[in-house]
Amino acid sequence: GAVVSQHPSWVICKSGTSVKIECRSLDFQATTMFWYRQFPKQSLMLMATSNEGSKATYEQGVEKDKFLINHASLTLSTLTVTSAHPEDSSFYICSARPSGGVGYTFGSGTRLTVV
Amino acid sequence: GENVEQHPSTLSVQEGDSAVIKCTYSDSASNYFPWYKQELGKRPQLIIDIRSNVGEKKDQRIAVTLNKTAKHFSLHITETQPEDSAVYFCAASIGQAGTALIFGKGTTLSVSS
């Protein structure tokens, strides 16, 4: 089945630094990937839609200059949290829908802790 | 934009009872409605889904019903077992399937033996 590999699974960084999260589609081409953020005991909130070869579409309230998304190839999308602060600590998870399929495939998620 | 409401937020049942979780959505163009089970710190796990051209779908103890006119869909779990205890999320596609999913706020299901 379709697999999305997400790395790292967890990361601890200092305030003010940047962190890059990668999502790779292993056995299909993902022209579109979706990035979600999930705070403890809350739902998955859509942050942005990543499109291969073009700019990402951000949801209202998500700072595009803080959460940089790059989708340079059909199998890789990256989310960079720039100048991270403790309030950015969260579970970040990507998703893609293989073309021709019905369901969505999720990465394993990244637990970001900013200290 | 799409908005998905989910109720109840918590649900406690006895083993063997049925559990029902309900969701409503706002975008009449939505046509894909999955249900996910999520364990703490893990990715959502698809348990059942339904497309808008179908009113009901069943997979063993799990069923989903969809009422497009009323814009609501429900998850039904029969003969609940302790291992069904988890957080369940409904979701709806923004318009056509293939676009992003918008999730409900989740239901914490507890099944006691």
Residue-level pLDDT, tens digit, chain B, 113 residues? 789 999 999 999 999 999 999 999 999 999 999 999 999 899 999 999 999 888 999 999 999 999 999 999 999 999 999 999 999 999 999 866 568 999 999 999 999 99
Contacts of B42 in chain A (CB under 8 A): 108-109
Quick check: B90 and B4 in contact, CB under 8 A?
yes
pLDDT-derived band of residue A53, with 50, 70 and 90 as boundaries? confident
- Contact call for B101 and A32, based on CB within 8 A: no
**Which positions in chain A touch B98 (Cβ < 8 Å)?**
32, 97
A45 contacts B34? CB cut-off 8 A? no
Q: Is the pLDDT of residue A13 over 90?
A: yes
Which two tokens mark B101?
């999913």
The pLDDT of residue A100 = 72
> With bands split at pLDDT 50, 70 and 90, how would you rate the model's confidence at A48?
very high
Q: Residue A103: which pLDDT band, with cuts at 50, 70 and 90? A: confident
How far does CA A10 lie from the centroid of its chain?
13
Q: What is the DSSP letter of A54?
A: S
User: In 3D, which of B87, B90, B78 has the Cα closest to residue B110?
Assistant: B87
- The mean pLDDT of A67-78, rounded to a whole number, is 93
Q: What is the pLDDT of residue B15?
A: 98
**A84: pLDDT confidence band, cut at 50, 70 and 90?**
very high
Determine contact: B53 vs chain A, CB below 8 A.
no
Side chain identity at B54, as an amino acid letter?
V
